A and B are shown apart, each in its own frame.
Chain A
Amino acid sequence: SQTIHQWPATLVQPVGSPLSLECTVEGTSNPNLYWYRQAAGRGLQLLFYSVGIGQISSEVPQNLSASRPQDRQFILSSKKLLLSDSGFYLCAWSVHKAEAFFGQGTRLTVV
């Protein structure tokens, strides 16, 4: 069966520090991969999505970047965090448009 791993679950980082969140999927090949952010009390904002290795589509200009170094690995990064980067970050995967599955999320607090 397919599983998605996202870590860490919680993270507290100072302003100006770097960020690296990792997401890996098991049990499937060539998935579509997504990064979302949910700010407090808000909806799910699509940040990046990828349909293959090295193929990244960016949805919102911001302080973040994404990379897909391997087929089932998706990484969200920042060189210097801002206070406004705080939020709940979610990774998701799909192989068919009728379904997409999420990880458990990372709560990032920038202080």
Chain B
Amino acid sequence: DQQVKQNSPSLSVQEGRISILNCDYTNSMFDYFLWYKKYPAEGPTFLISISSIKDKNEDGRFTVFLNKSAKHLSLHIVPSQPGDSAVYFCAASGIGNKLVFGAGTILRVKS
């Protein structure tokens, strides 16, 4: 039962353009959503999060949008840089502090 889904295995974007990474969830009891960036053989790095009572949170080049009615969230990276190339994971936290992750999306930013 995959409660957090990232349906796009990969995304390729030109440097300077916007990267949009998508995530869907099924459990309406999730109350926080988090995004992580991961390089091979390293632990994930926390990027940004959003509470379920908000619809937008922004931190520098990163903005997360939440659409509760659609059970959908997205991470926008503007402008995209080659150093942003990595695997991006969406995660959701719910009852009992359980934290579950999606399968990840590989982002490639071309220079």
Residues of A within 8 A of B (CB): 6, 32, 34, 36, 42-46, 49, 51, 57, 59, 88, 90, 92, 94, 97-105, 107
Contacts and interface: CB of A to CB of B under 8 A. Distances in A.
A102 B43 contact: yes
B69 interface: no
Contact of A90 (B43, B46, B51, B98): B43
Contact of A88 (B36, B41, B45, B103): B41
Given A57-B96, A101-B46, A36 B101 contact: yes
Nearest to A88: B41
Contacts, number: 66
Interface residues of B, number: 25
B97 A32 contact: yes
B99 A34 contact: yes
A97 B93 contact: yes
A51 B99 CA distance: 12
A9 B72 CA distance: 35
B97 A104 contact: no
Nearest to B30: A97
Contact of A97 (B32, B43, B46): B32
B34 interface: yes
Given A42-B103, A98-B51, A90 B96 contact: no
11 contacts: A43-B102, A43-B104, A44-B44, A44-B101, A49-B97, A92-B99, A98-B49, A102-B36, A102-B44, A104-B43, A105-B43
Interface string B4-25: 0010000000000000000000
